[in-house]
Structure 1
Amino acid sequence: MLRISLSADTYSGIWGDNALVSYEAEGAVIHFSGDFPLRRIQQAARQLQSQGINSASLEGTGWSYERQWAFYCGFANTKTQVELRWASIDEDELELLNARRRSADWVRQVVNATPEAMYPEKLAEEAIAFLGGIAGDAISHELIVGDALVDHGWIGIHSVGRASSRPPVMLTLDFNPTGNADAPVAACLVGKGITFDSGGYSIKSSEGMVTMKCDMGGAATVTAALGYAIEQGLRQRVKLILCCAENMIAGNAYKLGDVLTYKNGLSVEIVNTDAEGRLVLADGLIAATETKAPLVIDAATLTGAAMMAVGSDYNALFGLDKELVFKAQQLSELVNEPAWPLPLEKWHQGHCPSFYADTANSRAQKGGGMGGASNAAAFLSRFVDTDNSSWVHFDLASCFRDSGDSRWAAGATGLGVANIAALLLQ
C-alpha cells in the first residue's frame, strides 16, 4: 500500500514546479494548495491511479471527510477494484465514508456493466439485492414484467421495451422500516432504467450509441441514494420505482407517429423514438403520484441539452416548486456534488405541441430544439400531481464520463447519489 499524505505547501523541485504529487521515502505527498483544493486532491488521486497504483493508505494530518472523499473519486478505477485505507478519523465519519463508498461502488458496478450483462430484469434484481442487503426485512417489492405491463396500464415502459428480446420491467420497491403496512409514504423515487438505448427508429450514430449502457444511470442513482440514506438512519417509508427497458429496433417496435394514451388519460404523439426516457418515466411518475407521497424525486440521463447547458461537472435541476429546487441545490453544494437549476414553468408544457394528441414527446428537431432540457422536464411535470406533491427532476449530466479525464476514470461517477440521499434525509 502506497502511503499518501497531504501538504498545504506548494511544491518546487525535481517533480516539477507546482506539482500535484511529489515522492519521498515514506510514500507520496499531495500538494493541495491553490484554487479548488478538493479538485486538486482528486486530480492527484487520478494521476496516482493512472501510474498503476491500485492500493493506497491515507495517512497523516489534514485528511478531512471531504478531502478523503475527493481522493476516492479520483482513485476509483473502471477496470480494477482499488484498495483504499481511510485516514484515522472520527468513527461516525468512517462509517459515513464506507457507506458512501458502498453506494458509489454499486453504481459503478451496474452502470459500467455491459448491456449484454445488465438487462432490464437483471437491473431490477441487482437493485433488490443491493437494498435487501442493507435493509433486510424492511424491504418488499413487486415486479411487473413484459406484457403484464399493459394489463396494469404502464403503456410507456411497455412500448419502449417491447422490441427487445428481453422484456421491460417496472420494479416497485417499498422500504418501510415502520412495520406498519398503513404507514404513509414520505417520499417516492423514480429512476430511468434504459439498460441500452439504440434510439429506436430515430437511431443513434455509432459514436452516440457506444456508451448507451449508461442510460440506466438514473435508476442506479436513485437506488444507491436510497441505500445511502438508509445507512445514514432514514426511518421514514420510501418507495422506489424503476422503469426498465431496452430501446431496440424490430418489427414490433414503437414508431414515429404512434400515439400512446397513458393511465392518467394523457395522450402522447411519438415524434422521436430516441426521446424514450421521458416515456418510461411518465409511468413511474404516475405510479409515484398514486402513492400520495408529498415528495417525488426522479433522476435520469435524460437530455443532451442539459449537458450542453451545464457541462459534465454539474447535474441539472428542474421543478415547479422553486423552494425545493433551491434546497436540492444547497444540498448539492454541501455534499460536493454540483447541481444547477435550469428554467421550468407550467407554460413549458406547451412547447411540444401535437396535431394528433395532447402533447408530443419532443419536437421534431435535432436535440428537441431550443430549450430541450426544459421541455423534457415540462413533459414529465404533466404526470405528477404538483398541486399535492413537491417534485424535483435531476437530469444527470455529470453521472457518466464517456472517457477518462484529469479527475475521473471513464464510466459512472456516482454524482447525484449523496445529493438525493440528503434530500430524503431532510
Structure 2
Amino acid sequence: MLNISLSSQPHSGVWGDNALVSYSGDGAVIHYGGDYPLRRIQQAARQLQGQGVTAANLEGKGWSYERQWAFYCGFATTKTTVQLSWASIDEDELELLNARRRSADWVRRVVNAGPQEMYPEKLAEEAVAFLKGIAGDAVSAQRIVGDELLEQGWIGTHSVGRGSVRPPVMLTVDYNPTGDPDAPVAACLVGKGITFDSGGYSIKASAGMVTMKCDMGGAATVTAGLGYAIEQGLRQRVKLILCCAENLIAGNAYKLGDILTYKNGQTVEIVNTDAEGRLVLADGLIAASEMKAPLVIDAATLTGAAMVAVGADYNALFSLDRELLSKAQQLSDLVNEPAWPLPLEKWHQGHCPSHYADTANSAVQKGGGFGGASNAAAFLSRFVDTDNCRWLHMDLAACFHDSGNARWSAGATGLGVANIAALLLQ
C-alpha cells in the first residue's frame, strides 16, 4: 500500500518541474498548489492509478473531506478493485466519505455492467436490493412488467421496450421511514433506465452504440442519490420511479409515425426512435405528478446536445422554477459536482411540432435541431404538474466517459449523486 501525502509547494527536481507527483521511499507526494487544487489532486490520483498503484493510504496533514473525495474520483477504476485508506479526519466526515463511496461504487458497478447482464428486470432488482441494504423495511417496491404496462396506461415505457425479448419494467420504490402509510410524499425521483439503446429504427452507428449500456445512468444516479441521502439521515418519505427498457429493433418494435397517447391525454408522434428516453420519462413524470409530491426531480442521459453545450465536466440543469434552478446549482458547487443551467421556457414546447399529434418526440433534424437539450426538457414539462410541484430535470452530460482521460477512468463517474442527495436533504 503506497502512502500518499500532500504538499502545497511545487516540485522541482528529478520528477520534473511542476510535477503533480513525486516519490520517496515507500511514499508519494501530491503537489496540489496552483489553480484548481481539487482537479490537480484528482489528476494525480489518476496518474498513480495509471502507473499500476491499486492500494493507497492517505496520510499526513491537509487531507480535507473534499481533497480525499477528489483523490477517490481519480483513483477509482473500471476493471480493478482499488484499496483506499482514508486519512484521519472528523468521524462524521469519515462516515460521509464511506457512504458516498458506497453510492458511487454502486453506480459504477451497475452502469459499467454489460447489457447482457444489466437488463430492465435486473436493474430494478439491483435498485431495490441496494436501497433495502441501506434502509431495510423502510423500503418497499412495486414492479409493473411487460404487457402489464400497456394495461395500466404506461404507453411510453411499453412502446420503447416491446421490441426486446426482455420485457420493460416500471419500478416504484417507496422509502417511508415514518411507518405511516398515509404520510405525505416529500419528493419523487424519476430515472431513465434504458439498459441498452440501439436507437431503434433510427439506428445508431456502431461507434455511437458501443457504450449505450450507459443509457440507464439516470436510473442509477437517482437511486444512488436516494441511498446517499438516507445514509445522511433523510427522514421524509420519498418515492423513486425507474422507467426501464431496452430500445431494440424487431418486428413488433415501435416505429416512425406511431402516435402514442399518454395517460394525461398528451399525444406524441414518433419522428425519431432514438429520442426514446423522453418517452419513458414521460410515464414516470405523470406517475410522480399523481403522487402530489411537492418536489419532482428526474435525471437522464438524455441528449448529446447537453454535452455539446456544457461539455463532459458538467451536468445540465433545467427547470421552470428559477429559485429551484439556482438552488440546484448552488448545491452542485457545494458538493463539487459541477452543473450548469440551460434555457427552458414554456414556449420551448412548440419546437417539436407535429401535423398529427400534440407534439413530436423530437425535431426532425440531426440531434434534435438547435437547442435540442432545451427542446427535450420542454417535452418532459408537458407531463409534469408544474402548477402543483417544483420540477428539476438533470441532463447527465458528465455521468459517463466513453474512454479514460486525465481525471477519470472510462465508464461511470457518479457525478449527480451527491447533488440529488443534497436537494432531498434540503
Residue 273 of structure 1: aligned partner: 273
Residue 386 of structure 1: aligned partner: 386
Residue 159 of structure 2: aligned partner: 159
Structure 2 distance, partners of 1:9, 1:367, is: 46
The 5 A counterparts of 1:246-285 are 246-285=246-285
Structure 2 distance, partners of 1:225, 1:423, is: 9
The normalised TM-score by structure 2 is: 1.00
Structure 2 distance, partners of 1:184, 1:95, is: 29
Q: What is the deviation of 1:26?
A: 4.1
Residue 109 of structure 1: aligned partner: 109
Residue 309 of structure 2: aligned partner: 309
The reply on whether 1:121 has 2:124 as its aligned counterpart is no
- SS of 1:282 mapped into structure 2: helix
Amino acid at match of 2:235: R
The 5 A counterparts of 1:195-210 are 195-210=195-210
The normalised TM-score by structure 1 is: 1.00
- SS of 1:191 mapped into structure 2: strand
Aligned residue pairs total 426
The reply on whether 1:191 has 2:191 as its aligned counterpart is yes
Amino acid at match of 1:274: D
Structure 2 distance, partners of 1:166, 1:54, is: 37
Structure 2 distance, partners of 1:286, 1:302, is: 18
- SS of 1:272 mapped into structure 2: coil
Structure 2 distance, partners of 1:152, 1:57, is: 53
Residue 356 of structure 2: aligned partner: 356
The reply on whether 1:346 has 2:346 as its aligned counterpart is yes
Amino acid at match of 1:41: I
Residue 95 of structure 1: aligned partner: 95
Residue 73 of structure 1: aligned partner: 73
- SS of 2:234 mapped into structure 1: coil
Residue 298 of structure 1: aligned partner: 298
- SS of 1:49 mapped into structure 2: helix
Structure 1 distance, partners of 2:282, 2:288, is: 10
Residue 141 of structure 1: aligned partner: 141
4+ residue runs over 2 A deviation: none
Amino acid at match of 2:241: I
Residue 130 of structure 1: aligned partner: 130
Residue 423 of structure 1: aligned partner: 423
Deviations 1:323-380 (A, max 9, x none): 0010000000000000000000000001100000000000110000000000000000
Structure 2 distance, partners of 1:241, 1:10, is: 48
Point out where structure 2 has 5 or more consecutive residues left out of the alignment.
none
- SS of 1:132 mapped into structure 2: helix
Structure 1 distance, partners of 2:33, 2:90, is: 24
Q: What is the deviation of 1:134?
A: 0.1
The reply on whether 1:212 has 2:212 as its aligned counterpart is yes
Deviations 1:19-43 (A, max 9, x none): 0000011400000001000000000
Structure 2 distance, partners of 1:404, 1:265, is: 44
Structure 1 distance, partners of 2:329, 2:28, is: 35
Amino acid at match of 1:17: D
The 5 A counterparts of 1:29-108 are 29-108=29-108
Structure 1 distance, partners of 2:387, 2:284, is: 18
Q: What is the deviation of 1:240?
A: 0.1
Structure 2 distance, partners of 1:80, 1:12, is: 32
- SS of 2:22 mapped into structure 1: strand
Structure 2 distance, partners of 1:397, 1:168, is: 24
Structure 2 distance, partners of 1:56, 1:47, is: 13
Structure 2 distance, partners of 1:251, 1:25, is: 64
Residue 22 of structure 2: aligned partner: 22
- SS of 2:418 mapped into structure 1: helix
Amino acid at match of 2:116: E
* RMSD between superposed Cα atoms in Å: 0.3
Deviations 1:217-251 (A, max 9, x none): 00000000000000000000000000000000000
- SS of 1:221 mapped into structure 2: helix
- SS of 1:387 mapped into structure 2: coil
Structure 2 distance, partners of 1:241, 1:278, is: 14
Deviations 1:132-166 (A, max 9, x none): 00000000010000000011110000000000010
Residue 225 of structure 1: aligned partner: 225
- % same residue: 83
Deviations 1:251-297 (A, max 9, x none): 00000000000000100000000000000000000000000000000
Deviations 1:86-139 (A, max 9, x none): 000000000000000000000000000000000000000000000000000000
Structure 2 distance, partners of 1:81, 1:175, is: 30
